[in-house]
Amino acid sequence: MAQDAITAVINSADVQGKYLDSSALDKLKGYFATGELRVRAASTISANAAAIVKEAVAKSLLYSDITRPGGNMYTTRRYAACIRDLDYYLRYATYAMLAGDPSILDERVLNGLKETYNSLGVPVGATVQAIQAIKEVTASLVGSDAGKEMGVYLDYISSGLS
Ligand SMILES: CCC1=C(C)/C(=C/C2=NC(=C\c3[nH]c(/C=C4\NC(=O)[C@H](C)[C@H]4CC)c(C)c3CCC(=O)O)/C(CCC(=O)O)=C2C)NC1=O
């Protein structure tokens, strides 16, 4: 089950049959203190999601061999599949950023993904470059604090793919 920052600390205290210790409480304090920031960032990202992906693709993939005949993004169908995948990464990273926990990424995004990419010949390196470009574009839109938070989960997807 995907969890969030709150259930994560509660579950780990419960396993030991204890109240939250001070480091668990500090984690929660940090999470609550950044709540407003996370919600504001999620709202900005959802209002600009298509533009974020478009700009990231322009920065990382367009005009490379990948979009030419023989490249994995060549043909409208594959181009659209790639854009759709990047939309997924941005949306699920936003969920994880709101939750303050990456487990939703393991459960709904990364599970079996590398195998699927390998079997279809989708290049992982170029995908990671596009995710890193999403990270930059998002940070420039939401500011560096929220951008750093989003970066944690976009990096999580990148390393899960690599
Ligand atoms: C929400 C969870 C979820 C994810 C993550 C997901 C990914 C996903 N991407 C796929 C395909 C694909 N993914 C890409 C992506 C790319 N090709 C490139 O060269 C670029 C570098 C890159 C974009 C950054 C492409 C081109 C395909 C189609 C490949 C093919 O059918 O030949 C497929 C195979 C089935 C299909 O075509 O829809 C899956 C399952 N599906 C899901 O349900």
- pLDDT (tens digit, 9 = 90+) per residue, 36-86? 999 999 999 999 999 999 999 999 999 899 999 999 999 999 999 999 999
Q: CA distances (Å), 55 to each of 15, 59, 81, 84, 130, in order?
A: 45, 6, 17, 14, 10
* Ligand 1 centroid distance, CA of 99 (Å): 25
- pLDDT (tens digit, 9 = 90+) per residue, 80-125? 999 999 999 999 999 999 999 999 999 999 999 999 999 999 999 9
Asked whether 126 lines ligand 1 (CB < 6 A), one says: yes
Asked whether 111 lines ligand 1 (CB < 6 A), one says: no
Residues whose CB is less than 8 angstroms from the CB of residue 45 and which lie 6 or more positions away in sequence, other chains included: 52, 90, 94, 138, 141, 142, 150
Asked whether 122 lines ligand 1 (CB < 6 A), one says: yes
Asked whether 130 lines ligand 1 (CB < 6 A), one says: yes
What was the pLDDT predicted at 2? Answer: 83
Confidence of residue 159 (pLDDT cuts 50, 70, 90): very high
Asked whether 128 lines ligand 1 (CB < 6 A), one says: no
Query: Shortest CA distance to 149 belongs to which of 95, 111, 112?
Result: 95
DSSP state, 2?
-
| CA nearest ligand 1 atom 2, residue | 109
pLDDT at residue 1 is higher than 80: no
Confidence of residue 15 (pLDDT cuts 50, 70, 90): very high
* Ligand 1 centroid distance, CA of 117 (Å): 7
